[in-house]
Structure 1
Amino acid sequence: MKFSTLVCITFLVVILSSLAPIKSSLVENSVKPPCTDIEITGCVPAIILGTPPTAECCGKLKAQQPCYCDFIKNPAFRPLVTSPQAHAALGFCGIPYPSC
């Protein structure tokens, strides 16, 4: 798959997830905080384009830190957490990348 196609697909997933959060059946019975939605409002430029994340974005990423391994296991969320831009955004916000 070409890189531009992957970027377009990821962008669509980001936009759609911000309009209607995706529910994950993989983690609904978890005892951790609910990891069924990924909240990336304000993080789209950082995750898609690699620009520095805003303070709002860093706050949302830090709040969701316990859910990253569940997000990586979910095919709908995986590109939003495992991309090089996501790695950079986490690093910029001082969040270690999860070792699942």
Structure 2
Amino acid sequence: MKMLKLALYIVLIINSLLSAKAKTDCNPIQLIPCATAILSSSAPSEACCVKIKEQRPCLCKYIKNPRLQKFINTPNAKKVIKNCGTSFPTC
């Protein structure tokens, strides 16, 4: 009985962690730390890279938005994403 309770507890913990991770707040304002790097082709800051990695699941959504795609789907933005150690999404 104790093993069953322990297994159930572990499943609940894993489920809550996965749910929390899956819920990315897709808010392009979160990428403000990257604005300078994207617009001027300078090196991204650590804060920018943290936000790029957090917002990566949202990038396709941003690319499909006509107002945002001109900032996200650019050579500089692709360079920033790559310099932050992640890959540009294939949408």
Q: How many residues align?
A: 69
The equivalent of 1:18 in structure 2 is none
Q: TM-score, normalised by structure 1?
A: 0.63
Q: Cα deviation per residue 1:41-90 (whole Å; 9 max; x = unaligned)?
A: 22111110100000000000100010011111111111121111101000
Moved over 6 A (4+): none
SS state of the match for residue 98, structure 1? coil
Alignment of 1:38-77 (within 5 A): 38=28, 39-77=30-68
Larger-Rg structure: 2
Instruction: Report the AA paired with residue 81 of structure 1.
Output: I
> Which one has the bigger helix percentage?
2
CA contact (8 A) 2:24 2:54 kept: no
Q: Which runs of 5+ in 2 are unaligned?
A: 1-21
% identity of equivalent residues: 35
Q: TM-score, normalised by structure 2?
A: 0.69
Instruction: Report the AA paired with residue 55 of structure 2.
Output: Q
